Structure 1
Amino acid sequence: MIGFFAGVGSEFTKIFTTRLWWSLALVLVLYLMALTGGLGLLFAGLQTGAIHARHGLVPSFGDLAPPLYSFATSIGYVFPVLFGALITAGEWGYQTITPTFLANPHRYTVLWAKIVTAVVFGAAYGALALAASVSSGAAALTHYGLNAELGDHATWHLFGRAVIAMALWGFVGVGLGVLVPNQAAVIVIILAFTQFVEPLLRLGAAFSVETAGAAKFLPGASSDALVGASFLDLQNTAEGAMVVDQLSWQHGGVMLVIYGAAVTVIGCLTTWRRDVS
Structure 2
Amino acid sequence: MTQVVSEIRKVATTWTWWLVLAAMAVYSGGFAAFTVLASTLERSPLQLGSPETVVVAYNVAIAVAYVFPLAMGVVVVTNEYRSKLIAQTLLANPSRWSVYGAKTVTGLGLGLLYSVVATAVCVGAGAGLLALLGEPAYLTSAPVIGSLLGTVVALSLWGLIGVGVGALVRNQVVAVVGVLVLTQFVEPMARSVVLGLSDSDVSWVLPGGAGDAAAGGTLYSMMNGVSADSQLPGFLMLGAYALVFCALGAWRFTRYEAA
Q: Settle same-fold status: TM greater than 0.5.
A: yes
Count of residue pairs the alignment pairs up = 256
How far residue 179 of structure 1 moved from its aligned partner, in angstroms, is 0.8
The question of 1:219 aligning with 2:246 is answered no
Match for residue 144 of structure 2 among 139, 143, 155 = 155
Q: Is the 8 A contact 1:126 1:163 kept in 2?
A: yes
Distance 1:126 1:207, change over 3 A: same
Deviations 1:116-163 (A, max 9, x none): 111111111111011111111112323333221112133122222211
How far residue 29 of structure 1 moved from its aligned partner, in angstroms, is 1.0
* Structure 1 unaligned blocks of 5 or more: 47-51, 236-241
Letter in 2 for 1:223: G
Higher helix share: 2
2:129 corresponds to: 140
Deviates more, 1:176-185 or 1:68-77: 68-77
2:231 corresponds to: 249
The alignment's TM-score, normalised by the length of structure 2, stands at 0.91
1:273 corresponds to: 255
Give me the whole-angstrom Cα distance separating, in 2, the residues matched to 1:126 and 1:190. Answer: 18
> What secondary structure does 1:105 align onto?
coil
1:231 corresponds to: 219
Task: List aligned pairs for 1:117-136, cutoff 5 A.
Answer: 117-136=106-125
Deviations 1:75-133 (A, max 9, x none): 22111101111110121111111111111111111111111111111111111011111
Deviates more, 1:174-183 or 1:246-255: 246-255
Letter in 2 for 1:265: A
2:182 corresponds to: 193
> What secondary structure does 2:205 align onto?
coil
Q: Is the 8 A contact 2:25 2:117 kept in 1?
A: yes
Q: Is the 8 A contact 1:72 1:129 kept in 2?
A: yes
Deviations 1:43-99 (A, max 9, x none): 2x12xxxxx34xxxx645364411111112112211110111111012111111111
How far residue 214 of structure 1 moved from its aligned partner, in angstroms, is 4.0
The question of 1:94 aligning with 2:80 is answered no
2:36 corresponds to: 40
Q: Is the 8 A contact 1:89 1:181 kept in 2?
A: yes
User: Larger Rg: 1 or 2?
Assistant: 1
Letter in 1 for 2:215: V
2:4 corresponds to: 8
The alignment's TM-score, normalised by the length of structure 1, stands at 0.85
> What secondary structure does 1:254 align onto?
helix
Give me the whole-angstrom Cα distance separating, in 2, the residues matched to 1:213 and 1:272. Answer: 38
Distance 1:271 1:119, change over 3 A: closer
> Over the residues paired in the alignment, what is the CA RMSD in angstroms?
2.0
Deviations 1:22-59 (A, max 9, x none): 1111111111122211232112x12xxxxx34xxxx64
* Structure 2 unaligned blocks of 5 or more: none
How far residue 251 of structure 1 moved from its aligned partner, in angstroms, is 2.3
1:178 corresponds to: 167
Distance 1:155 1:125, change over 3 A: same
1:260 corresponds to: 242
